[in-house]
Structure 1
Amino acid sequence: MKTRKTTAVVATAVVLMLGASACNGSKDDNGGGKGGNGGSGATDAALTSIVNPSDKAGGTVKIEMSDEPDSLDPGNTYYGWVQNISRLYGRTLTAFKPAAGKDGLEIVPDLAEGLGKPSADAKTWTYTLKKGLKFEDGTPITSKDVKYAVERSNFAPEALSNGPTYFKAHLAGGDKYKGPYKDKNPDGIASIETPDDSTIVFKLKDAFADFDYLATYSQTAPVPAAKDKGADYVKHIVSSGPYKFESYDAGRGATLVRNPNWDKKTDPIRPALPDKVTLRFKVKQETVDSNLIADNITVDGAGTGVAPATQPDVLTKPNLKKQTDNSYAGATSYLGLNVNVKPFDNVHCRKAVQWGIDKASVQAAQGGDPKGDVATTLLPPTVNGYTKFDLYESAGHKGDEAKAKDELKQCGHPNGFDTKISARSDRPAEMAMVTAVQASLKKIGINADIKSFPAGKYFQNFAGNPSYVHSNKLGMIMMAWGADWPTGFGFLDQIINGSAIKPSGGNNIAELNDPKINKMLDEGIANTDAAAREKTWGEIDKAVAEGGTMVPLIYRKNLLLRPVSATNVTVTQAYLGMYDYVLMGSAK
């Protein structure tokens, strides 16, 4: 398949799969339907419909969360919740349609007039921008602003290290271009062409069948070069969306207000109903939950659900349970074993961990069934390309002590060994999981010393920083990962591809750089046959499992709680099963 129909077929397959998965929750007898015309507010109503629909403008959407963002800069972020929120102030070439249920996985034009026009070999993609687009200061948005946004976000790790580097990996000449802060050539990278102010052309070194998905990424949100301050751009982000920053306080929060130069005529997908959106960071998770229950805030920005301590109360009180939505997150929690930290350079030491972990205890620790199912693969069942297998199968997912100890003998540590394991200190469920991992490994002689770090700096300074990992012998790293877009490549590439290893802010925490796996990824995304491409993702997943570098733990689910005053509430699978923040409003 060599036209943009390729993307549409992939999306359709994913939609059907996700639609089936969403049905695992309680049925909403009064809601449902395409686009969500209603929604009773019953348990799981927001999985397939819009709860408390409203077209009333005004009010304030209040967002709180327990940690802080890696960055609110659309070009310097990798957290799914920031991608979700950034759509309020950053428009992209294409976008996932803000809609209920399966309709929320449809890719639609945003800044562009239509979806990308690929060449026959899918190596060249062309987009034409809409007329009348403006930044918050009234200056026109041009194709050069989109090009510059891609250049700064993908080619300047010295200033912007948090986001993915798909463009760098796939653009022709991407391995040579040094980025706009070092390369002062005003024309920038040659493989992104802007023949006029409305046209942008991406020339790739290889075929990339998922490019319309990549164009939804916040890295295509335009940035005026004259206003860019590198890492400090986050202090004065120039809006292209319906809201702009009234204030920003690093590590504490921000306030968004209406952008007077946003034009609804060019942006039919964003309702932009609230007058204001407030963000508050570093609020204890239990406090966030209490504020949701008391209807003091609109949404938990992290989108990962209530804390384990809150969950029993929510599930046993009928009036609260009906305000919950137990969504699949399209994400997997797993344990990365860094191949450059001894003894995990030895495959048998890695396999000892695979056999030694009691996954059932990890599932119980993070909240039981409502928070996720035991995982045996990296790819979750809701992502295109998932193939069911279990190379380390044990009774009741409790591990196999005998096989674990046999692997320890083969790796030269018959009595076990000492290591360190990291987790995010401000994520209660992850801390509960890492404690369970520690306890089960101790039974086979592996003593894992827990090191906890704040989520906002977890990848930049610690777990995603190879220098820190090596010098501190951080051999085991807790991780949760959701697809950048809902295909196998969108899930796997940035966590297993050798090209994704970065000096800081990286997500290939195992530092896996297997030539065979790298080649499989490259050949898979270049294949314009959708069925063959889908099959490849499952094969790659199994190849990773055979090397033992990553231990799948939980296919994550979110036990979300919507307060009574929240309007237009619906779950989006495009953003890891959290609520769609573009649609949400408040009756207050």
Structure 2
Amino acid sequence: MKLMQKSLLSLCLLCALLVAACGNDANSSQNTQHTKAPANKQVLSTVFAVGAGIPDFNTVDPALAYNIADVNAVSAIFTGLLTLDYNLRIHGQLAQSWDRSSDGLTWTFHLKPNLKFSDGTPLTSHDIAYSIDRALLPATKSTTALYYMGYIKNSDKLSNGAIKTIIGDSLLTPDDNTIKIVSSKPVPFFLETLTYPCAFTVEKRLIDAYGAQWTDHLTEGGSTGPFKVKRYIHNQEMDLIPDSNYYGAKPQLKELVYPFYKNEDTTYKDYMTDRLDDATIPLSNYSQDKTRKDFWKKPYLSIDYLAMNFSKKPFDNLHIRQAFALAINKTLLADKIWKGSYIATNHIIPEGQYGYYPNLSGPAGVKGPAGDPALAKKLLQQGMQEAGYSSINQIPQIALTYSSSGKQAFRDEMTALQQMWQQVLGVSVKLDDIDGNTLSSNTSNGVSANPYQFYAGHWAADYPDPQDWITIQFGKDAADNSMGFGQNNGANAASERALQQQMVTADLMQDSNARLATYNKIEQEIVDDIGWISIVQETQYGLRKPCVQGVRVNALQLTPPDDWGNVYISTDLPCANVTVS
């Protein structure tokens, strides 16, 4: 397959970087002998990347999942044709093998034998076609399906209601064990797009019976992953048990429990009293806890950023945007607020993946992430003159909307930013801490649905390709382009739209070197235009009980489905005081 040659080159580079950076997960080594705990103790009560900082999942419908908590839960319950493994390589799930046509447009997937849903119903190629088609239907209201599966031929027509289905058109099922997917363009990352949850397989029977509420009835079946739902109590917890019909390695755990904690830092207290098997670490404890034996840390392809709404004043002016960006000392934030646990950055594409541009500069050519207060003041005055503001008092009131999810360090970061803008620019910024699900929903449907003037965001890679960071974030009509890059009436809108056309060109390039150079150029221009103000690149870290064995989390903060078969609870102490319910 032509795609795999280029992809494996970039992924091998990625894997080398990840291994060099931090090594293996804590508690994941199988070199040490551990005694497996009794069956009634095979319960993992976990909040890492799932329940910490949220009152509930937004959704567990694969077609609708988009934040890291939802995606983690969905990935334990459902699977699709493909996934990304621990090293972020393409791995067959429902698909046993696949091949590509000579023109690069048609992919043929051959399924594993005897596939079944969790209720025992046979799973065929027709179920896969139905699931992809359903995700793209306008009635499903997926914000992710079109731009992850938008390269499937006529997916745009299905999504906008011009046609009723693409089954029999670009989704072909010559027999129960074979599905052909026809793409509209020979993009080099097509397989990677099929690893996102919107391409996962769901059971039509359940959806026909319960409509939009079908995920509240997953105890009746519908799963295709290593686990199935035992109990889902909204705003309290979700309990999973092994799916006996799973086609891969069966979980050794008897239960996987996802409790919800609206206040993220509360998980630490419950961990210390053995109510949880893992926890996040409050930043006030990071310096001392990073030396604990139950501490773990590894790379994460994730960026925390601020975004300005280009359609709302005063951020329709480039120089005012640049002034706000350069008034920030990101190095100080990383060192003092995040205690060195995160890395200050100007980058959109994170370090450790294909597409990272080491020679990138900050806005207006500023080197390094420490900002430039003198230049920030000059740019603010220039922007005010262009916008017709004779004094700072004439600048519209500015509000920065964010969600701390109960995490004190994030509140401290927002306060530090507020102080920097006041001290450097003389501008007062109001802070508004809101529910995380609300913020995420309102900034995942394009600029027209975004009510915020200025907001804090977070993006983690869906797959290790620059398109996931550039086109999906800043492309024309992209759901996550809530800042309105290219879709505004500012003086730079035309150049932004031209850059969006370059994104489309880069997405199609087959020469990996030329493609990389094009994305690097695009990223630099977005940084100069303040498409985002990237603040820090996150790392993954936390505490995990020594009794938890075999857990492996990849650089996307996900445990690959087949890796759940290696996870078990040992007799090592301490351990969460939980038993099979």
TM-score of the superposition, structure 2-length normalised?
0.84
Cα 1:185/1:205, change in 2 over 3 Å: closer
Cα 1:387/1:398, change in 2 over 3 Å: closer
- Note if contact 2:158-2:166 (Cα within 8 Å) is conserved in structure 1: no
Residues of 2 paired with 1:155 and 1:415: CA distance? Answer: 50
- Note if contact 1:391-1:546 (Cα within 8 Å) is conserved in structure 2: yes
Residues of 2 paired with 1:362 and 1:164: CA distance? Answer: 36
Residues of 1 paired with 2:120 and 2:323: CA distance? Answer: 60
Cα 1:576/1:377, change in 2 over 3 Å: farther
Q: Does 1:400 align with 2:381?
A: no
Q: For residue 242 of structure 2, what is the aligned residue in structure 1? A: 258
Structure 1 segment 137-536 matched on structure 2, within 5 A: 137-156=119-138, 159-163=140-144, 165-178=146-159, 185=164, 188=167, 190-228=169-207, 229-237=210-218, 238-262=222-246, 266-267=247-248, 270-300=249-279, 305-315=280-290, 318=291, 321-364=292-335, 366-370=337-341, 372-388=342-358, 389-392=360-363, 397-412=369-384, 413=389, 415-416=391-392, 417=395, 418-428=397-407, 429-443=409-423, 444-461=425-442, 466-467=447-448, 469-470=450-451, 474-501=452-479, 507-513=480-486, 514-536=496-518
Q: For residue 585 of structure 1, what is the aligned residue in structure 2? A: 568
The Cα shift of 1:382 comes to: 1.0
Counterpart of 2:9, as a letter, is V
Residues of 1 paired with 2:66 and 2:332: CA distance? Answer: 29
The Cα shift of 1:285 comes to: 1.9
- Note if contact 1:135-1:240 (Cα within 8 Å) is conserved in structure 2: yes
Residues of 1 paired with 2:244 and 2:30: CA distance? Answer: 30
Q: For residue 130 of structure 1, what is the aligned residue in structure 2? A: 112
- Note if contact 1:161-1:460 (Cα within 8 Å) is conserved in structure 2: no
- Note if contact 1:209-1:526 (Cα within 8 Å) is conserved in structure 2: yes
Cα 1:529/1:573, change in 2 over 3 Å: same
Helix, strand or coil: the match of 2:12? helix
Counterpart of 2:62, as a letter, is P
Spell out, residue by residue over 1:178-230, the C-alpha distance to the aligned partner (whole angstroms, 9 max, x if none). 47xx7894664732222222222222221221122222222222112232255
1:569 to 523, 541, 551: 551
Residues of 2 paired with 1:70 and 1:97: CA distance? Answer: 25
Counterpart of 1:436, as a letter, is A
Counterpart of 1:95, as a letter, is T
The Cα shift of 1:483 comes to: 0.9
Cα 1:537/1:499, change in 2 over 3 Å: same
- Note if contact 1:408-1:415 (Cα within 8 Å) is conserved in structure 2: no
Cα 1:446/1:151, change in 2 over 3 Å: farther
Spell out, residue by residue over 1:269-302, the C-alpha distance to the aligned partner (whole angstroms, 9 max, x if none). x4411111111113422221122334322234xx
- Note if contact 2:310-2:484 (Cα within 8 Å) is conserved in structure 1: yes
Helix, strand or coil: the match of 2:541? strand
- Note if contact 1:9-1:530 (Cα within 8 Å) is conserved in structure 2: no
Spell out, residue by residue over 1:301-340, the C-alpha distance to the aligned partner (whole angstroms, 9 max, x if none). xxxx42223324423xx5xx22112222111111111111
The Cα shift of 1:495 comes to: 1.4
Cα 1:363/1:542, change in 2 over 3 Å: same
Helix, strand or coil: the match of 1:495? helix
What is the RMSD of the two structures over their aligned residues, measured on CA atoms? 3.1
Cα 1:395/1:461, change in 2 over 3 Å: closer
Counterpart of 1:243, as a letter, is F
- Note if contact 1:96-1:574 (Cα within 8 Å) is conserved in structure 2: no
Residues of 1 paired with 2:465 and 2:45: CA distance? Answer: 32
- Note if contact 1:375-1:552 (Cα within 8 Å) is conserved in structure 2: yes
The Cα shift of 1:55 comes to: 10
Residues of 2 paired with 1:333 and 1:55: CA distance? Answer: 39
Q: Does 1:551 align with 2:551?
A: no
Helix, strand or coil: the match of 2:428? strand
The Cα shift of 1:449 comes to: 1.3
Counterpart of 2:377, as a letter, is K
% identical aligned pairs: 21
Q: For residue 489 of structure 2, what is the aligned residue in structure 1? A: none
Cα 1:522/1:309, change in 2 over 3 Å: same
The Cα shift of 1:488 comes to: 1.5
Counterpart of 1:435, as a letter, is T
Helix, strand or coil: the match of 2:281? coil
Spell out, residue by residue over 1:145-175, the C-alpha distance to the aligned partner (whole angstroms, 9 max, x if none). 222222333443x544453533453222222
Cα 1:536/1:322, change in 2 over 3 Å: farther
Q: Gaps spanning 5+ residues in structure 1: where?
A: 41-51, 99-103, 502-506
Residues of 2 paired with 1:518 and 1:240: CA distance? Answer: 37
TM-score of the superposition, structure 1-length normalised?
0.83
The Cα shift of 1:493 comes to: 2.9
Residues of 2 paired with 1:490 and 1:55: CA distance? Answer: 41
- Note if contact 1:155-1:168 (Cα within 8 Å) is conserved in structure 2: no
Helix, strand or coil: the match of 2:180? strand
The Cα shift of 1:141 comes to: 0.9
The Cα shift of 1:110 comes to: 0.8
Residues of 1 paired with 2:205 and 2:382: CA distance? Answer: 59
- Note if contact 1:483-1:576 (Cα within 8 Å) is conserved in structure 2: no
Q: For residue 94 of structure 2, what is the aligned residue in structure 1? A: 111
- Note if contact 1:149-1:221 (Cα within 8 Å) is conserved in structure 2: yes
- Note if contact 2:80-2:197 (Cα within 8 Å) is conserved in structure 1: yes
The Cα shift of 1:424 comes to: 0.9
1:60 to 43, 60, 68: 43
Helix, strand or coil: the match of 1:369? coil
Helix, strand or coil: the match of 1:384? coil
Q: Gaps spanning 5+ residues in structure 2: where?
A: 487-495, 576-581
Residues of 2 paired with 1:439 and 1:189: CA distance? Answer: 59
